[in-house]
Amino acid sequence: MTKTVSILAVCLSMLMNAHAQQDLAGYRTGNYTGVNGVFSNPANIANSRYRWDVNLIGVNASVGNNQAQFKLGDLGKTFDGDKATDQLFGANSGKTSGIVNVAIHLPAVMISVGPKMAFAFTSRARVLGNVTDMDGQLVNQIRHLDENSNLPYTISSNGTMRVNVSGWTEYGLSFAREAFVNGPHYFKAGGTVKYLSGIGNMNVHLSNFKGTIDKDLVAQDGYLTNTSAKVGLASSGVNVSDFEVDQLTKTSGHGVGLDLGVVYEYRPADSKGYLFKVGVSVLDIGRLKFNKDMSKSAGYNLNIAAGDRFYLSQLNGVSLDDYKTTLDQYPQYFAPDGTNNETSYKVSLPTTMQINVDYHLQHKFYVNANVQLAMTKGTTRPYNGQYYSGFTLTPRYEGRKFGFYLPLSYNGLTKFNAGTSFRAGPLYVGSGSVLTALFGNSKQADAFVGFRFGQLYKKSK
């Protein structure tokens, strides 16, 4: 069990990102994103600066947490397993939460049909993982049983500690057009319909945990006593203990997703382009239906009486794939709760609302403000992954061939972060947290890089 917790902590610490939920930090606010503009608001491609645009490949990787910190010049020590685990689940830590987000932007193409209308085809592979409200004190007690002298330790929680990971590929067809024009007022609308192919899902949750951990001094083994909780395990298409690359090409679920967006632009006659624009979009509407692996999925009512002991050594060396088999050996403590009868379960996409305001200061200088509101949570459905609400302010300089962006963000998980990104010809690259990590402690690490090319309209447009 200690080994499982340590592996989890190291994985989180190696992929930390506060604004993990937003792909392409900074760069995504510009007017030269081409087909990539559909990922923040599908209306963006209408009346675009491009006749056509192609994204060859792009990768955005990030993770964030609310406990562990690092500095860019001290990565070696930061990613040491023991140090990372101590920060995430140390003696002074509270509830630990984290997020892992990876998006691989596969080939995509956009075509403008005149100045008013555009179509796009996009494809992405995505992985989203959450650790939510893990009790750091409890994990710390388990990790240091051998030298711990502060036992017994009692916990009483009315919440849900959970870990979930989902992976899927999506293929989107987008349409956007200029809705109407009234003098200097321009309105655009767009939408993306996505077919979702589920790669896999794994989740573990522990609800209303109330119990005591103590140590048998004779056997030199820790145990749980006077404990009650609801325990849930669910798995689909994921083999954690023996992962192989070919798992990424298999399908264990299907679904349909939707992105919707509108954009208003104010274009006074004496201005080149817009003076300001406002966009509103709702992203990742929909859900995936996964086929449940019945050999790894279960639900239990945990009940250990005050005079009984469940020794933690009975979970030593047990992988997440084998937890059900192990727990089934102790029906006196782990009683099936009857929730494992269905052969499938549904996982909602991490729906967010994006509210975006972009102001053209002068010439090639702009400032962008974006509010993200998370609309999906795992409070009642522990299968669901989630993003975090936040705010980003991004000053930028952008021309036809070059752009520089300075995203300054704050969200509910990792608080303040500062980064930078660049666009030069076909290359776009950046990070939403590199400046925070360079000049101080950061609870995130993220980066993206990609290549795209297209044909711009003439400047007169």
Residue 84: in which H helix or E strand, if any?
A: helix 81-88
Write out the H or E segment, with its range, that includes residue 235: strand 221-236
pLDDT tens for residues 106-157? Answer: 999 999 998 889 999 999 999 999 988 888 777 777 776 666 567 888 888 8
pLDDT tens column, 47-97: 999 999 999 999 999 878 887 777 766 655 554 545 555 556 655 567 888
**Model confidence pLDDT, tens digit, residues 372-421:** 999 988 777 888 888 999 999 999 999 999 999 999 999 888 889 999 99
Report pLDDT for 1.
Answer: 41
Tens digits of residue pLDDT in 265-321: 999 987 778 999 999 999 999 999 999 999 899 999 999 999 899 998 888 888 878
Cα distance between residue 7 and residue 259, in whole Å: 35
At 247, is the secondary structure helix, strand, or coil?
A: helix
> Burial letters for 248-279: b for 16+ Cβ neighbours within 10 Å, e otherwise?
eeeebbebebbbbbbbbbebeeeeeebbebeb
Q: Given this model, what pLDDT does residue 211 score?
A: 92
Do the beta carbons of residue 301 and residue 335 sit within 8 Å?
Answer: yes
Tokens of 440: 């101080």
Residue 258 pLDDT level (bands cut at 50, 70, 90): very high
**Helical segments of 105-229, H only:** 136-143
Cα separation, 289 vs 193, whole angstroms: 17
Cis amide linkage into residue 115, ω under 30° from 0? no
What pLDDT is recorded for position 440? 74
d(CA 57, CA 125) in angstroms, rounded, equals 11
Give yes or no for a contact between 343 and 359, defined as CB atoms under 8 angstroms apart.
no
**Interior angle at CA 309, CA 308 and CA 314, nearest 5:** 145
Per-residue pLDDT tens over the stretch 311-354: 988 888 888 788 899 999 999 999 998 888 888 999 999 999 99
DSSP per-residue letters across 280-293: EEEEEEEEEEEEP-
